[in-house]
Amino acid sequence: MRDPAELLVAAAEGDRSAWDELESRFGPRMWAVARACGLSPSDAADAVQGAWLRLLQHFHTIREPAAVGGWLMTTVRREALLMLRKQRPGVTSLEIVEEPDPESAVLEADGRRLLWKTVSTLHEPCRSLLQLVAIDLGNQQMAARLGLPVGSVGPTKARCLEKLRTLISAQETAQ
């Protein structure tokens, strides 16, 4: 399996299979980043496509080819934020930055494993609730599955996410 830097160089030289492999490796996470920014499916599709088009024009200017994944996440997030800002008059920028995006670290494969591991250490109802949140179950169905009043699902979800955030932050600090 080729590493990201090799894939980037090969794609820049015209190797379509390398491009496809970059898409396989990073496309799902780019989608998750765009959706995490709050974009609709159609706008998220635009943001992801925009990031790929930018990569075509930056093959030779990416400072750290090994970090092309981080570059793509940062770029898709930036495109997403531009789209959101355009809906309101305000500051926009077409500048592309190459710094890693710390917020998307939780979307990295290691970050996701850590996240699930941490979810599994939570007490009930948080453990089950977050698993149900992950599959986008509505509040009514969640209330029925968890045996909670519907009105308490929202506040409980907020408390569980806060616990998760505290635990993840503590683990990141310890690393």
Partner 1 sequence: MINDEYFLAALRLASGNDPVPGHVSAAARDAFGLRVPGAVTAAPAECAAPGGVRDGQGSHLVRFVTAGLTFDLEVTIGDGLIDVAGHVFPYPGEGAVIDVRTPHLTLSRRIANTGDFAATGLPPGWLSVVCHRPGHQPVQTRWVRIRP
Q: Which residues bind partner 1 (CB under 8 A)?
A: 11, 14, 16, 19-20, 23, 27-33, 35-38, 41, 44-46, 48-50, 52-54, 56-57, 59, 79, 82-83, 86, 92-94, 102-104, 106-107, 111-113, 115-116, 119, 130-131, 133-136, 161, 164-165, 168-169
**Spatial contact of 131 and 121, defined as CB atoms under 8 Å apart:** no
Looking at residue 3, its amino acid is D
**Spatial contact of 37 and 80, defined as CB atoms under 8 Å apart:** yes
Which is closer to partner 1, CB of 20 or CB of 64? 20
Q: Shortest approach of partner 1 to residue 171 CB, angstroms? A: 12
Which is closer to partner 1, CB of 3 or CB of 20? 20
Contacts of 50 (CB under 8 A, 6+ apart): 75, 76, 79
**Spatial contact of 96 and 60, defined as CB atoms under 8 Å apart:** no
Q: Shortest approach of partner 1 to residue 56 CB, angstroms? A: 5
Number of Cβ within a 10 Å radius of residue 83: 20
Which is closer to partner 1, CB of 66 or CB of 165? 165
Q: What is the C-alpha separation between 157 and 119, in angstroms, rounded? A: 13
E strands, 32-149, are none
Q: Shortest approach of partner 1 to residue 155 CB, angstroms? A: 13
Which is closer to partner 1, CB of 99 or CB of 136? 136
